[in-house]
Amino acid sequence: MQDVFKRFKKNKFNQKVSHYLFSPPRLPWTIIYFGILVRVVQYLSNRSLWNDEAALALNIVNRSYLELLQPLDYDQGAPIGFLFIEKLAIKIFGDNEYALRLFPLFSAIISLFLFYKLAKQCLQPQAAIIALTLFSTLHIWLGYATEVKQYSSDVAVAVLLCLVLMQINGKKLNFVQILTFGIVGAIAIWFSYPAIFILAGIGISYLLISLFENKLLKTIKLLGIYTIWTLSFVCFYFVSLKNLASQEDLYKSWASRGTFPASVLDFTWLLTRFIEFFHKPLGFPDVFLWLAILAFLVGCISLFLKNKKFLLILLSPLFITYLAAYLQKYPFDGRLVLFLVPFFTLLIGEGIAVIQHKTRHTFFAKIGTIVLILLVVPPIGTASYLIFKPYQKQELRPVISYIKNHQQAEDIIYVYQRAEYQFKYYTNKFGYQKGDYILGIDDLDKIDGQGTSEAEWQRYKSDLDKLRGNRRVWIIFSHVRSWDKESERITEYLDQFGKQIDVFKQEGSFVYLYDLS
């Protein structure tokens, strides 16, 4: 009898917990708090800065506010507003990973609340919940949520702008409202490069709607808002964007990855990039890719039938970003188009909900449930896994710590060139000065493309030959490309005239100790 009573109490407890967490009014907040938990865990894990983070961090740490207005070193680019906030963070909290990642974390968290509010405005409740779940748990977006890059704040700005600008619909637009919408957009431009595409897309959408409805007065008022945006963009262009646009090395780097179409008629590129978007940055596995695309298309059709204005507004940033890529002005690739994730997840959420609704009383009733499970459960599972095993990318910090603890007075430290930015960031933290280490030859990718060409390999060998005769040489690797077998080729060459004494490996970074005497 006692066992029965205990089981009853336990069931009652489970029911209370279930009601508290998963009842319709509370479910959205459970999803949001889960998304916050995953992001905070990634932040607190305090992983080492990887290559791109370190390259930008060196600019933030080593430059003054005024110097951050000049072209950045190491082929880096970031909005002035973002750079200034990052600089302020390290001034207040010190030069460390926590300070550098604080603003991206804040942006990632605030975007969850903003997205839910946007979803409620655009979608019916079930679709909004599905979209929110995806937005909170998609693993690639989670990875960038706590990186020392502007991609997290790009997402937050994109959602904020869409949420704010949607209020234009139905308003008569008095002077205060024109000024408010104008100032919000004008400020956003200084904090996010893609804000320009959001403003252009939504701005053109409202202009077309106003002209179609023959609302001449509203069209004039809209042009007043857009004038403020344009003035801000012109100032921003001459202060910052002009320098970035003139960096040919950066352009060539992105162009070599197929991020621009070959011509105006290159529709194969457009289709390929559209499909690839569902893989990266949305992060759907290949096996479910077409299912996600189907849900997206169903969502588009559903919104077209229910609210054409909302559909146009949600798709307009995508159209403008494609246009920028065709004009060879902005690469359409991975993290650079992360800001489009909110719009895609809204439409995918709508599509999944419609599929469920349309099939629930038919022979295909189970299909809607299967689609929901296959598209939503894997991101939830991955996000849950990341709570217990946070992201690691290139853990150079423990590698340098290992060297420091085992280093002898006469040791030579050689840093493979792809690890340069990370090593430079951590040198002062471990007491290394210039002259305490040797930086490998520079990267020839800018000259001869991706991969290790024969000319590049000969330069590597000549550089390594200078290390001959030393009894203890530490060879540090990070940010290596496994597909090109960079580290294997170098260690195989060193094995020809030296002996490996020690090795220490971490995720994405490692060091070999060689006797080359």
Contact 303, 315 (CB under 8 A): no
pLDDT for the residue 20: 60
Average pLDDT of span 454-468: 83
* Cα(205)–Cα(56) distance, integer angstroms: 35
Q: Are strands 438-439 and 412-415 parallel, antiparallel or unpaired?
A: parallel
pLDDT at residue 272 above 90? yes
**pLDDT tens-digit profile of 8-47?**
455 665 666 665 666 777 899 999 999 999 999 999 999 9
Contact 380, 137 (CB under 8 A): yes
Burial (CB count <10 Å: 0-12, 13-18, 19+), residue 207? middle
Structure tokens, 289: 């890719």
Residue type at position 162: C
Contact 186, 232 (CB under 8 A): yes
Strand (E) or helix (H) holding 384:
helix 365-388
Q: Three-state SS across 451-506? A: CCCHHHHHHHHHHHHCCCCCCCEEEEEECCCHHHCHHHHHHHHHHCCCEEEEEEEE
* Cα(52)–Cα(57) distance, integer angstroms: 9
pLDDT for the residue 8: 45
* Cα(35)–Cα(133) distance, integer angstroms: 8
pLDDT for the residue 1: 38
* Cα(349)–Cα(368) distance, integer angstroms: 12
| pLDDT band at residue 358 using 50, 70 and 90 as cut-offs | confident
pLDDT at residue 349 above 60? yes
Over its C-alpha atoms, the chain yields an Rg (Å, rounded) of 26
Average pLDDT of span 422-428: 93
Number of neighbours of residue 296 by Cβ within 10 angstroms: 23
- Please list the residues that pair with 439 across neighbouring strands: 415
pLDDT for the residue 157: 97
pLDDT at residue 259 above 80? yes
Pick from 132-141, 168-177, 275-284, 413-422: least confident? 168-177
pLDDT more than 90, % of the chain? 65
Pick from 348-357, 361-370, 373-382, 488-497: least confident? 361-370
pLDDT for the residue 5: 40
- Please list the residues that pair with 478 across neighbouring strands: 509
pLDDT at residue 273 above 60? yes
pLDDT for the residue 14: 62
Dmax of the chain from CA atoms?
A: 84
pLDDT for the residue 15: 63
pLDDT at residue 4 above 50? no
| pLDDT band at residue 441 using 50, 70 and 90 as cut-offs | confident
Highest CATH level, class, for 396-515 = alpha beta
* Cα(441)–Cα(243) distance, integer angstroms: 27
459: left (phi over 0), alpha (psi -120 to 50) or beta: alpha
pLDDT for the residue 67: 94
pLDDT for the residue 255: 73
Structure tokens, 276: 């690839």
* Cα(380)–Cα(385) distance, integer angstroms: 9
Structure tokens, 176: 């205060």
pLDDT for the residue 369: 85
pLDDT more than 70, % of the chain? 93
pLDDT for the residue 84: 97
Residue 340: DSSP 8-state: G
φ/ψ (deg, to 5) at 197: -70, -35
Question: For 225, how many CA atoms within 13 A lie in the half-sphere containing its CB?
Answer: 25
Q: Which of 403, 474, 399 lies closest to 440 in space, CA to CA? A: 474
pTM of the model: 0.91
Q: Are strands 412-415 and 473-478 parallel, antiparallel or unpaired?
A: parallel
pLDDT at residue 404 above 90? yes
| pLDDT band at residue 124 using 50, 70 and 90 as cut-offs | very high
Q: Which of 144, 149, 54 lies closest to 108 in space, CA to CA? A: 144
Pick from 310-319, 417-426, 456-465: least confident? 456-465
* Cα(463)–Cα(466) distance, integer angstroms: 6
Pick from 20-34, 259-273, 290-304, 463-477: least confident? 20-34
Q: Which of 441, 509, 502, 493 lies closest to 471 in space, CA to CA? A: 502
pLDDT for the residue 392: 92
pLDDT at residue 303 above 90? yes
Domain ranges in the chain with CATH number 3.40.190 = 396-515
Structure tokens, 517: 């005497």
Q: Which of 139, 141, 123 lies closest to 131 in space, CA to CA? A: 123
* Cα(150)–Cα(146) distance, integer angstroms: 10
Task: Put the strands of the sheet holding 412-415 in their side by side order.
Answer: 438-439, 412-415, 473-478, 509-515, 499-506
Q: Which of 426, 421, 418, 427 lies closest to 456 in space, CA to CA? A: 418
